[in-house]
Amino acid sequence: MKRRHFLQTTAAATVLPTLLGGLPIGAYGFSPELFELTGGETQTDRVLVLIQLNGGNDGLNMIIPTDQYSALMNARADIAIPQNQVLTLRAATGIHPAMTGVKNLFDDGKIGVVQSVGYPNPNYSHFRATDIWTSASDSNVTITSGWAGRYLNSEYANYPTGYPSAQNPDPLAISIGSVVSNCVQGPSVNMGMAIASTTSFYQLLSGGVDTAPNTPAGHELTFIRQVISQTQIYTTAIQAAAARARNLSPLYPAAGQNSLADQLKIVAQLVAGGLQTRVYVCNLGGFDTHAAQVPVTGSTTTGTHATLLGRISQALEAFQDDLRRLAVQDRVVGMTFSEFGRRIKANSSKGTDHGAAAPLIVFGTSVNPIIHGNNPVLPANAGVNDQVPMQFDFRAIYANLLRDWFRVPQATLNALLPSSLGQFPNVPVIRPGIVNGTSTAAATNVANFSVFPNPVRDHATVEFESEGGHVQVVVLDALGREVARLLDRNQPRGRRQIPFATGLAAGSYHCQVREGARVSSRLVVVEG
């Protein structure tokens, strides 16, 4: 999609002075067709959250193939994470040490990882690669509309006339921020709306539409004014939902410290407040790490990329904790994505250049909590042009989320995600028990186990749901030796909060809760 064309066709991206939780909100208009796509015929209350990592995330430093360390060190010794500091997800696969929250969620069955996601013949331009991901096109086919926008335009050509309505007062999709996602771009007009904290250019109207000249520009002005009026109605619905719920998790950082956490905090509030919105879009920028991905001097576990990964981890852990406390965690799943990964070989500026495939994360109590696919096989001595080979087409992930989470028929998916490859293979990112209706949770985990704050300085709290009976809470060092026993006695059924006064040397530990056949473990970092 050409940038000029995109700007010319986004008249519906109306900028309005509306804030929620200190952030602007963007709302996409309701359509019965897209409502059907996301399960509207069954009035599903399921929600999908998309998190775009803008700039191209270095997947090899996020999900780390520990069985490939010789190749990794040959290719990127000055930016690679030391093997003894990688957090283990499963044998031969680890995660960046800044992502303790995601590690905790993985251990608790709330995270899945899809290895090496991309598409054939990848493009390395930020703009074009983003267009491919949001339009769901083949790399050699330019589609100026987004996949949802095409569906909206073909099935509901009169949009936005008649919406919102008394029967459908809420927006179907909400983006946090003032930019309307390309995925709702129609062939001639953007099918979405945006609400932001600006007061310029657009005039808020109450009821009706002012007369405009009978010219092309006048017709566009009439359309803009109509969208403004509708957006005000959506804003009222959004604010009403926000008033019905308050965030409960203590894991969120202070406002302004983590923009992704700030966005997800609003999503949790709106979901719990009863807004019947199916899709939320959030974003985190800064992943174009050509230089200074890690510090010039000092540990490679710190620096720009580590900070970004830490924000993802902190935001997801707080979000899942909040959804649990708000009793809506089983309604929400989500995924991260970036327009591409980075090269295997580091460049001379302690950074990485535009690459191909990369892992993505799916999250929620209903995701299949496994690592899909194998570790990428890296050349022993990677050259500057070597890439991580694709294992999964990103459109297969889209297709499976829509089919297994929103129950979209396969015929609809085929029309929505056209490709010369035909029907995409199954990647079971949703837990099989959710798909077939037989189960919703893993029975071997201690329910709702968390340690906060984490990292820990002097004091923390261990929280979990007890089934009743004898419970042990122990702390183990990096070698698996017990260094503290916080609880070792019978407990009544219900939520337990156990104080954790460390008194431990700075370093990494594992806190375990053992209750009958259930065992859960959390990595805990103690700061000096």
Cis peptide before 82 (omega within 30 of 0): no
Reported as a pLDDT band with limits 50, 70 and 90, residue 106 is very high
Specify the 3-state DSSP secondary structure of 449. Answer: strand
Write down the CATH number for the domain with range 447-526. 2.60.40.3080
Mean pLDDT of all residues belonging to the chain: 80
Distances in Å between the alpha carbon of 233 and those of 43, 207, 240, 353, 375? 21, 10, 11, 45, 48
Lowest average pLDDT, out of 114-123, 150-159, 458-467, goes to: 150-159
Peptide bond preceding 453: is omega within 30 degrees of 0, i.e. cis? yes
For 273-292, the pLDDT digits (tens) are: 998 788 788 889 999 999 99
The average pLDDT across 49-73 equals 95
Q: What pLDDT digit, counting tens, does each position of 343-394 carry?
A: 999 999 999 999 999 999 999 999 999 999 989 989 989 999 899 989 999 9
Give the 3-state secondary structure of residue 425: coil
- Comparing 162-176, 414-428, 453-467, the range with the smallest average pLDDT is 162-176
Side-chain-side CA neighbours of 245 within 13 Å: the count stands at: 24
Condensed to tens digits (0 to 9), the pLDDT of residues 493-502 reads 999 999 998 7
The domain spans of the chain are: 3-436, 447-526
How many CA atoms within 13 Å lie on the side-chain side of 381? 0
Select, from the ranges 23-32, 104-113, 481-490, the one with the highest average predicted confidence (pLDDT): 104-113
- Tell me what pLDDT residue 481 has: 67
**E-assigned strand segments in 150-193:** 173-176
Q: What is the mean pLDDT of residues 319-325?
A: 95
